[in-house]
Structure 1
Amino acid sequence: MKTKKLTKHAIDIAYRDEGQGMPVVLLHGFCGSSAYFDEIVPLLRGKARLIVPDLPGHGQSGTPTAPYPIESFADDISELIESLGIPKAIWFGHSLGGYVTLAAAERHAAGITAYGLIHSTAYPDDDKGKETRLKSIQTIRDTGIQPFVDGLIPKLFAPEHVQTMVDKIETAKKIGYTTTTEGAIRTLEAMRGRPDRNAVLEAVNCPILLVAGESDQIIKPDKTFSVNKDNITQVLIQGSGHMSMMEHPQRLTDALLAFLSDINL
């Protein structure tokens, strides 16, 4: 892992920079890290230059010391990409990473050639979702990050994988434990406060990929496939929950490579 200090929020961002070719950014989900993509990076790096950061508050990156909305995530990751001398890149965001990607598409469109949402949505939290975020914040404050992660991770996998992918669930938990308590709380606040960005999907005419899991218990496919346009490709991964990069890495990789092959740089 390499580390770069960003100027706006003075945060150290840890990232992987692997492969050659078209620049592709991979952004992980909540309580994840760049390690979420360990199984697909080897499958992709022969086709692209992969920039895979740990989002602020996660993995080996620094934790924000002040309120840090989704827009700040987007601004800082955009600064990271620019600092690497990359004027334009293709962004793929998983879950939280998708929220960041959409914010970047709105705020830094000139730097994005195309983008994809993986098990993510342009919709904001509804009232129930916002209440759940508050309960999660309280749980983390009361008991710390490890019990919270232990409760969260199994729900990210398809129900049929909870017993058959025990090792992968344990791997995801260990990744989750690296999330700082303050980082998790600030990220929950950021996700709770994010706006509806379906208008971004509607307005942007660059190539867009939407990937959903057939058995995703966190974000149902209809929440991912919220906009239908000629420039939007929709892919449903059969038998996958919220974690196709671990549950079905080859299927996700195939979807990403098919999308990339259709982009004219």
Structure 2
Amino acid sequence: MKINVVKDSGVFAEYMGRYKSQVDLMSQHHRKVFAIPLTIQFMRKKHAQCKDYEKYHNMIRSGDNSLLSEAMRDFSKYLKGQYGRDVNAALVASNKPSRSRPTQIRRLGYCWAREQKDGDEYPHYHIWLLLDGSQVKSPFDVVKWLNDRAKAFNLALFYAKGAKRIDRKDPSLYWSLLHHISYLAKESSKDKELVKKGSNRYGASKLRPPNDIEWKGFTYESVRKQIQKQGRFFITQELENDVYRSEEALLEDIRSSIPNWSPPSVITT
């Protein structure tokens, strides 16, 4: 697959393997997956909602990722519990009809990468949240409520734009999401010197597969059928050279990098 990295930057293959596994596991649990890109950084000044600034300041300066881990545990617990009730209460307060069934999130998948450029006082994190696409259809409520909770850790949470909704039936949407997530795996801006020895510069959730696995990945045949039915297969719609309007064009591009390549039964990265 094509990688979404800046010019002259390599990519960490181990990162992408971990990220892809979480997307695949979420897709095994849910027919549709909603992915939200975020950026999180430690605020220079103490926020009024942060009651334990010294603790969190020491954590972010420690060189490990303990602060992010603590925040992600809080986010996960909140999304699986109070979040749906808060969304409904906000609808009622604004005189909008509440949902007959409050949003219910059963699991949270995520991928993250830590970066710190020369001269930056603190690291920042790029994160993709992976949620049940039948329950979450817009990023804005999730970002709004998580940003409020992030302040308790003296963290600022930003929506990076470009949320993606993928479906087991559409291989283009799946590969487009992996293309965008691959930005986290770029080698540039990774703080090799500032990270604590033994700590990671990337990470992901630890989802487990369902008991009954209905979806096992996209086969080459599924891509061929999409081209025949829709007239195209894309990795990212933003770049015309990543839109394939025939199977021959896709094969030609693949073989330009891998001579004599032949279609496998299941596409891999």
User: Is the pair's TM-score, using the shorter chain for normalization, greater than 0.5?
Assistant: no
* Higher Rg: 2
Give the structure with the larger helix fraction: 1
Higher relative contact order structure (alpha carbons within 8 Å, sequence separation ≥ 6): 2
TM-score range, shorter chain: under 0.3
Could you state the TM-score of these two structures normalised by the residue count of structure 2?
Answer: 0.23
